[in-house]
A and B are shown apart, each in its own frame.
Chain A
Amino acid sequence: MEAVRDLWRYRELFYFLAWRDVKVRYKQTTLGIAWAVLQPLLTMAVFTLLFGRIGKMPNDGIPYPLFYFGALLPWMYFSTTLTTSGNSLVMNANLITKVYFPRVILPTSAAFSGLVDFAIGCVLLFGIMGYYGIPPGWKLLMWPPLVVVLFVLALGVSMTLAALNVRYRDVKYTLPFLVQLWLFVTPVIYPTSIIPDRYRLLVGLNPLSGLIDAFRSSLVPARPIDWQLLWMSSLVTIALFAAGAVYFRRTERTFADIV
């Protein structure tokens, strides 16, 4: 209870730290905010060419650029957050050893700052949909709740990684590898439809599968949302978040001593 009151008292720090991350990121680079546009666009172009036109990946009737962009947007948010949020405690060691504030603010604000890029990407997405003449259907209303689940998932995993990172610096080196592997087991490059039914349960255990599939499906009227997979993903998300929060709570009192 006291923890919740503490968080409320420091609510503005969330905003300022997220704002700092965004501001510094765009200030330090020459291209600035253009990166938020270029990164998913270029990746989309490469995926479309390689896996789409050349690899002839089944696309469930969605134009390749939209097929890839719709999945890359949530995927890139997830992978970026894992990296920034997972390193947030170590990167802000000087704050942790000098000032008190609820430590969970650091990974959380990092997860928030990634949403800015995500929002910019959404604008692009509407542009692509317009280009292909796809009218926005009712299913687009699914995006806000999907983003919430995505945020909770990214934060839950990041809290665990961030807390582990304080004690074991191996995490920092493992992270890029983990992100890479996770991309391959997630239906970003391929659709869920090519996975044989007997592996469905296994696929559902990766919470990103149902999420990214739902993000993709809600773009076009023809493709139904796989509710079963989405529910499975959401349940795993809640479990991962709870585990992350508990682990973080249990270890946070030693952060200042060992970071």
Chain B
Amino acid sequence: MAHAIVVEGLSKQYRLGEHQSDLLQERLIRWFKHPFSTNGSSGAETIWALKDVSLRVDDGEVLGVIGRNGAGKSTLLKVLSKITHPTAGRVTVAGRVAALLEVGTGFHGELTGRENIFLNGSILGMTRREIERKLDAIVSFAGVERFLDTPVKRYSSGMFLRLGFAVAAHLEPDVLFVDEVLAVGDAAFQKKCLSAMDEMRTGGRTVLFVSHNMAAVENLCSRAVWIDNGEIRLDGGAKDVIGAYMAANAEACSLAADLTSNRQRRGSGDVRFTRVEFLGADGSPLEFLSSGDSVILRLHYHAHTAVVRPDFEIGVFTDLGTLVTKFSTWIDYEIQSLSPGGGHLDLAIGCLTLLPGRYFLSLWVKIQGPVFFDVLEQCLQFDVEASDFYGSGKGIHRYFGIVFMPSGWTLNTSANPAGDQLAEHLANGAR
């Protein structure tokens, strides 16, 4: 069978830590300082959004792509649809390609529904004659007959999305890339979209479908790939891959994790973390964590050789990857040495000041140098629940930020002593 999509050793690198579009001034200054440096962006941090991904998709196959946010799914889609160029590797896609990364791309509010159908259709690669031929079908699919000559800025958001998807659903590409567009609209419309996708499938089209909706992936796709950290973690039957992904997710989100089999670690291995867990202040296992709890974070380790003055570090990150805080033994608890063998290190947290939400832990053990023995990034994913910390009957909501600071209010009006003192002070100063 012919391959509709062939991906070989695909990698994509992004620059981080620098403004995406830099100022000419900075560039010039850099150039004056280092006129012979060929790389104008030296020192910029980079990340690999995709690492050596290889993939073959047969003609007419419907492939689901699943994975966490930021795992590289969207980047894969963007590279496949030629929106962005790969840093390394090769992509071959046979036939006419259409990519749906967003519903209603290029819609202009001032233009009418009809005008936008033509504009959007041509942006997606349809010819004018093709759009004219399908106009009636598109309009009735979207259900906007009465508003066809109304500017779309007066459309409801539902109508807007329906019109956008209707245009896309009438594309007749050989290969279709779809990203999450089904996550929008009401239930009835979602069903309509799914059946439209199903029709495309039965029409013998090759479809690559990126989604968080596991039910939809299972329904539409025969095969799925699970992308994790820019790499393909699992490729196989949709049911199996989804099962494995869900299992990993369920395991990932807990208050304890076994780390012995974690393979995404770095470091020399002289000391290895074996387990990390949250415990109650009394050392008992916890069912859940709430804002304001008093807890113990226990790190189990195994030292394979004796090490001198190791530093243990724990980083707490939000689910978007923002560092909330770090704990380090280097600051306040110097460990002279570790002898070979196992053990555990307890970190007592008097008040967990995290607001409700999802967080990650990263762990490091190293010596000055720095030589890393073990590095486990985002090895524990945990949820913090809301609590009535102040006993006011009101929980501190996640919209209040990332952390809270145990605190109390005092109101001083001008009638009380503090205010009087100020008035007196001012009066003295004036005299």
Q: Which residues of A contact B (CB under 8 A)?
A: 9-10, 12-13, 15-17, 20, 23-24, 27-28, 92, 94-101, 166-170, 253-254, 256-259
Question: Is the pair B21, A168 in contact by a Cβ cutoff of 8 Å?
Answer: yes
Question: Is the pair B125, A10 in contact by a Cβ cutoff of 8 Å?
Answer: yes
Alpha-carbon distance A28/B125, docked complex (angstroms): 27
Stretch from B105-113, B133-141, B360-368 at the A interface: B105-113
Cβ-defined partner of B21 (8 Å) among A28, A95, A259: A259
| 9 chain-A/chain-B pairs, Cβ below 8 angstroms | A12-B122, A13-B122, A15-B128, A23-B111, A98-B99, A100-B97, A167-B22, A168-B23, A256-B84
Cβ-defined partner of B123 (8 Å) among A24, A27, A101, A170: A101
A167 — which chain B residues lie within 8 A by C-beta? Answer: 21-22
**A168/B27 contact (C-beta < 8 A), A99-B99, A256-B84, A258-B20 known:** yes
In the complex, which residues 44-102 of chain B have their Cβ closer than 8 Å to any Cβ of chain A?
78, 81-85, 97, 99, 101-102
Question: Is the pair B108, A12 in contact by a Cβ cutoff of 8 Å?
Answer: no
**A161 CB, nearest partner CB in chain B, Å:** 13
**B154 CB, nearest partner CB in chain A, Å:** 13
In the complex, whether B127 has a CB less than 8 A from a CB of chain A is yes
B128 — which chain A residues lie within 8 A by C-beta? Answer: 12, 15-16
Question: Is the pair A13, B123 in contact by a Cβ cutoff of 8 Å?
Answer: yes
Question: Is the pair B101, A99 in contact by a Cβ cutoff of 8 Å?
Answer: yes
In the complex, whether B284 has a CB less than 8 A from a CB of chain A is no
Alpha-carbon distance A16/B84, docked complex (angstroms): 23
Alpha-carbon distance A168/B122, docked complex (angstroms): 30
Question: Is the pair B25, A170 in contact by a Cβ cutoff of 8 Å?
Answer: yes
Query: Number of A-B pairs whose CB atoms are under 8 Å?
Result: 83
Question: Is the pair A257, B84 in contact by a Cβ cutoff of 8 Å?
Answer: yes
Alpha-carbon distance A254/B87, docked complex (angstroms): 10
Question: Which chain A residue has the least Cβ–Cβ distance from B116?
Answer: A20
Question: Is the pair A95, B127 in contact by a Cβ cutoff of 8 Å?
Answer: no
Cβ-defined partner of B81 (8 Å) among A12, A92, A100: A100
Interface of B is mostly: loop
Alpha-carbon distance A20/B117, docked complex (angstroms): 12
Question: Is the pair A24, B21 in contact by a Cβ cutoff of 8 Å?
Answer: no
Question: Is the pair B81, A253 in contact by a Cβ cutoff of 8 Å?
Answer: no
In the complex, whether B24 has a CB less than 8 A from a CB of chain A is yes
Question: Which chain B residue has the least Cβ–Cβ distance from A168?
Answer: B24
In the complex, whether B312 has a CB less than 8 A from a CB of chain A is no
Interface range, B side? 20 to 34
In the complex, whether B301 has a CB less than 8 A from a CB of chain A is no
Alpha-carbon distance A258/B18, docked complex (angstroms): 11
**B126 CB, nearest partner CB in chain A, Å:** 8
Cβ-defined partner of B106 (8 Å) among A27, A94, A254, A259: A94
7 A-B pairs with the lowest CB-CB distances in the bound complex, closest first: A253-B85, A100-B82, A168-B24, A256-B84, A16-B122, A170-B24, A98-B105
Cβ-defined partner of A95 (8 Å) among B24, B78, B106: B106
Question: Is the pair B99, A27 in contact by a Cβ cutoff of 8 Å?
Answer: no
In the complex, whether B207 has a CB less than 8 A from a CB of chain A is no
B84 — which chain A residues lie within 8 A by C-beta? Answer: 253, 256-257
Question: Is the pair B14, A24 in contact by a Cβ cutoff of 8 Å?
Answer: no
Question: Which chain A residue has the least Cβ–Cβ distance from B97?
Answer: A100
Question: Is the pair A24, B110 in contact by a Cβ cutoff of 8 Å?
Answer: yes
Which residue, of B23, B25, B106, has the highest number of chain A Cβ atoms within 10 A?
A: B106
Alpha-carbon distance A256/B101, docked complex (angstroms): 13
Alpha-carbon distance A257/B84, docked complex (angstroms): 7
In the complex, whether B119 has a CB less than 8 A from a CB of chain A is yes
**A24/B111 contact (C-beta < 8 A), A16-B118, A101-B123 known:** yes
B99 — which chain A residues lie within 8 A by C-beta? Answer: 98-100
In the complex, whether B115 has a CB less than 8 A from a CB of chain A is yes
A168 — which chain B residues lie within 8 A by C-beta? Answer: 21-24, 27
In the complex, whether B338 has a CB less than 8 A from a CB of chain A is no
Question: Which chain A residue has the least Cβ–Cβ distance from B130?
Answer: A12
Question: Is the pair B21, A20 in contact by a Cβ cutoff of 8 Å?
Answer: no
**A99/B83 contact (C-beta < 8 A), A16-B119, A94-B106, A168-B21 known:** yes
Alpha-carbon distance A24/B152, docked complex (angstroms): 13
Alpha-carbon distance A7/B161, docked complex (angstroms): 29
Question: Is the pair B110, A254 in contact by a Cβ cutoff of 8 Å?
Answer: no
In the complex, whether B124 has a CB less than 8 A from a CB of chain A is yes
B14 — which chain A residues lie within 8 A by C-beta? Answer: 257
Question: Is the pair B105, A166 in contact by a Cβ cutoff of 8 Å?
Answer: no
Alpha-carbon distance A83/B108, docked complex (angstroms): 20
Which residue, of A9, A10, A15, A20, has the highest number of chain B Cβ atoms within 10 A?
A: A20
B22 — which chain A residues lie within 8 A by C-beta? Answer: 167-168
Q: Digit string of B13-32 for contact with A (CB within 8 Å is 1, else 0)?
A: 01000001111110100000
A96 — which chain B residues lie within 8 A by C-beta? Answer: 83
A95 — which chain B residues lie within 8 A by C-beta? Answer: 105-106, 123
**B106 CB, nearest partner CB in chain A, Å:** 5
**A97 CB, nearest partner CB in chain B, Å:** 7
B123 — which chain A residues lie within 8 A by C-beta? Answer: 13, 16, 95, 99, 101
